[in-house]
């Protein structure tokens, strides 16, 4: 029962001890998380705004080209009307129209009746298909642009002018018309943006497709979209509310943009009213294509911000670790050990127990400056350790004696650490000068050399961890076996050594975070 109660007390003290550091870490994590979230949200909105603005500019160019095409052909039709008024014969009409067809590159020139029937200048009769409101539009005297299909031919865009009616080769016509195959029109308004990955449409306000860049110019595509809104309704991730808003934009002739997923691919959708018979011109472009360059910047920004946030977290952890070791040492430095052994005496007993006779113990000024010098074979103990008979002094002295035992027993990790110390010193001294020189002279080889040399510091910190943890284990084992401290006092020494060990973990984390930051900040310059 007593052991259970004592265990509960120890657990409570442990929780109380780490409550404030944990709260500080949590508060910092929340703060950094909030800052990062706001920043990333701002960046996302900026990317969307810039991308859709760029796409709208491109779409506007295509819209201008379409309007130019319509205006040009309406002008030609009006000139044709003037020609018909003054033509002396049908043969002259046929010859002149054949010449006009060659010059314009159109599919055909037609004499058009209000029911959709038509005749070419060569007398070939056909039908442009049923246009329910064609007669109304022609009767109103309006210039008409319709999408039509003749039997055995691809879709065409037909420009009609009802300014003059008459008879040609016995065919009574209500208007004259000029027709282009859809692919010819699309090629005329295409600005070749995004390497052919964009899907461009011209639609009616109800979604019916007038022009489709994906449709095959000869026979039409099996996946041709006949109603764009219906396609979005069935195959996109738009909510009912978003879909209704888009439909309303189309109906009201409003310009706009959206981001949506269609058939599993994320797209930017931009649209605007053409001013031609309420047509809507729109463009679907994959987000990955539009944001190719901005995504690189975005990813680098995320990497750098994440690295900086991690570095700040690690620095706080290091600070807390330092405060904890000072707190633990100060607490147990004021508690005299029952044995009355000073730090120097405790270290000497551990050396003797391991048969080590060639290691001296010296005093060194300062606080927590204790260390073992393997070259001089000297354990140097600080003011609060050397001649002080406290729990903390015995724990620290035993730890340094543990290093001496590691060398005496040829402990492999400490030999490895000792072997890389010269390289680490070189890396520590030269890394930053090489980095700065590489940046000044724009020489990536020097930058990477500086980063690699700094990496040696991280390697040293990594190699230090098993050495320090092992020294603490040897110290605690020696203290327990030689009865240098009681069981209760041993727990105090363990607390001091555990806190000290955490400083080495924090040092490794700081070094690694700094190395990562250097790689992200300077290593990316090579990709620019």
pLDDT at 191: 61
Pairwise CA distance, residues 311 & 107, whole Å: 67
Question: How many Cβ atoms sit within 10 Å of the Cβ of residue 19?
Answer: 10
pLDDT at 272: 93
pLDDT at 221: 45
> 40: closest CA among 299, 314, 288?
299
Q: Specify burial of residue 212 (Cβ count, 10 A radius: 0-12, 13-18, 19+).
A: buried
Q: What count of residues does the chain have?
A: 528
CA distances from 228 to 155, 207, 223, 262, 510 (A): 17, 5, 12, 11, 55
Residues in CB range of 142: below 8 A, 6 or more apart = 162
Active-site hit among 223, 231, 362, 400: 400
CA distances from 205 to 425, 475, 510 (A): 73, 83, 60
Contact 506/314 with Cβ under 8 angstroms?
yes
Pairwise CA distance, residues 458 & 466, whole Å: 14
> 428: closest CA among 317, 521, 515, 318?
515
Contact 75/167 with Cβ under 8 angstroms?
no
Residues in CB range of 179: below 8 A, 6 or more apart = 106, 107, 108, 109, 110, 148, 156, 157, 158, 159
CA distances from 339 to 157, 200, 387, 393 (A): 104, 88, 14, 12
Phi, psi of 89 (to 5 degrees): -155, 160
Which ranges of 441-486 would DSSP assign to H, the alpha helix?
444-481
pLDDT at 260: 92
Q: Rg of the chain over CA atoms, in angstroms?
A: 42
Report pTM.
0.53
Contact 511/457 with Cβ under 8 angstroms?
yes
pLDDT at 182: 85
Pairwise CA distance, residues 118 & 116, whole Å: 6
pLDDT at 20: 63
Sheet strand arrangement including 144-149: 125-127, 117-120, 108-112, 175-181, 155-161, 144-149
pLDDT at 344: 92
Which ranges of 334-443 would DSSP assign to H, the alpha helix?
343-353, 383-386, 391-408, 412-440
CA distances from 462 to 19, 67, 451, 506, 508 (A): 28, 68, 17, 11, 6
Pairing outcome for strands 280-286 and 265-273: antiparallel
Pairwise CA distance, residues 502 & 294, whole Å: 41
DSSP helix/strand/coil, 160: strand
Question: What residue ranges define each of the domains in the chain, with the CATH number in brackets?
Answer: 68-186 (3.30.450), 192-290 (3.30.450.20), 294-527 (no CATH)
> 266: closest CA among 115, 73, 51?
51
Catalytic status, residue 57: no
pLDDT at 300: 66
Pairwise CA distance, residues 121 & 112, whole Å: 11
Residues in CB range of 254: below 8 A, 6 or more apart = 248, 273
Low-confidence ranges of the chain (pLDDT < 50): 1-12, 14-15, 216-222, 527-528
Give the tens place of pLDDT for each residue, 407-452: 999 899 888 888 888 888 888 888 878 878 877 777 878 888 888 8
SS3 of 293-362: the string is: HHHHHHHHHHHHHHHHHHHHHHHHHHHHHHHHHHHHHHHHHCCECCCCCCHHHHHHHHHHHCCCCCCEEE
CA dihedral 165, 171, 172, 175 (to 10 degrees): -40
């Amino acid at each position: 029962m007593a052991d259970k109660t004592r265990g509960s007390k120890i657990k409570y003290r442990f929780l109380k001890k780490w409550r404030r550091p944990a709260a500080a870490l949590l508060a910092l994590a929340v703060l950094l998380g909030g800052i990062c979230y706001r920043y990333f949200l701002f960046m996302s909105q900026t990317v969307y705004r810039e991308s859709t603005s760029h796409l709208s500019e491109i779409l506007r160019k295509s819209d201008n080209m379409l309007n130019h095409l319509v205006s040009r052909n309406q002008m030609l039709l009006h000139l044709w009307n003037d020609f018909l008024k003054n033509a002396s014969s049908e043969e002259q009409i046929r010859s002149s129209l054949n010449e006009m067809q060659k010059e314009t590159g159109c599919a055909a020139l037609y004499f058009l009746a209000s029911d959709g029937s038509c005749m070419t200048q060569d007398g070939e009769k056909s039908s442009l298909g049923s246009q329910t409101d064609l007669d109304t539009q022609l009767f109103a005297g309006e210039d008409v642009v319709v999408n039509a299909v003749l039997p055995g031919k691809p879709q065409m865009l037909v420009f009609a002018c009802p300014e003059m009616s008459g008879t040609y080769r016995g065919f009574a016509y209500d208007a004259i018309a000029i027709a282009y195959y859809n692919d010819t029109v699309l090629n005329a308004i295409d600005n070749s943006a995004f390497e052919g990955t964009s899907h461009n449409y011209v639609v009616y306000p109800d979604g019916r497709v007038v022009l489709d860049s994906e449709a095959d110019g000869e026979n039409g595509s099996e996946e041709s979209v006949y109603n764009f809104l219906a396609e979005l309704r069935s195959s996109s991730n738009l909510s009912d509310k978003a879909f209704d808003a888009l439909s309303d934009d189309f109906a009201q002739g409003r310009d706009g943009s959206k981001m949506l997923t269609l058939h599993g691919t994320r797209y930017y959708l931009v649209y605007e009213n053409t001013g031609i018979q309420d047509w809507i011109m729109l463009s679907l472009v994959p987000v990955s294509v539009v944001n190719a360059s901005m995504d690189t910047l975005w990813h680098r920004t995320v990497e750098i911000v994440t690295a900086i946030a991690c570095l700040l977290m690690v620095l706080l952890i290091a600070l807390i670790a330092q405060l904890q070791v000072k707190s633990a040492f100060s607490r147990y430095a004021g508690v005299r050990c029952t044995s009355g052994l000073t730090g120097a005496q405790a270290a000497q007993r551990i050396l003797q127990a391991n048969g080590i006779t060639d290691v001296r113990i010296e005093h060194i000024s300062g606080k927590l400056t204790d260390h073992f010098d393997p070259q001089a074979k000297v354990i140097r103990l600080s003011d609060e350790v050397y001649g002080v008979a406290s729990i903390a002094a015995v724990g620290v002295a035993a730890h340094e004696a543990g290093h001496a035992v590691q060398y005496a027993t040829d402990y492999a990790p400490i030999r490895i650490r000792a072997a890389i110390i010269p390289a680490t010193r070189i890396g520590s001294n030269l890394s930053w000068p090489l980095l700065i020189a590489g940046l000044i002279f724009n020489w990536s080889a020097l930058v990477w050399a500086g980063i690699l040399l700094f990496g040696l510091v991280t390697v040293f910190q990594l190699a230090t961890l098993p050495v320090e943890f092992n020294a603490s284990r040897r110290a605690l084992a020696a203290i327990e076996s030689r009865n240098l401290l009681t069981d209760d006092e041993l727990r105090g020494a363990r607390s001091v050594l555990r806190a000290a060990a955490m400083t080495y973990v924090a040092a490794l984390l700081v070094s690694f975070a700094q190395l990562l930051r250097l790689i992200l900040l300077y290593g990316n310059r090579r990709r620019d």
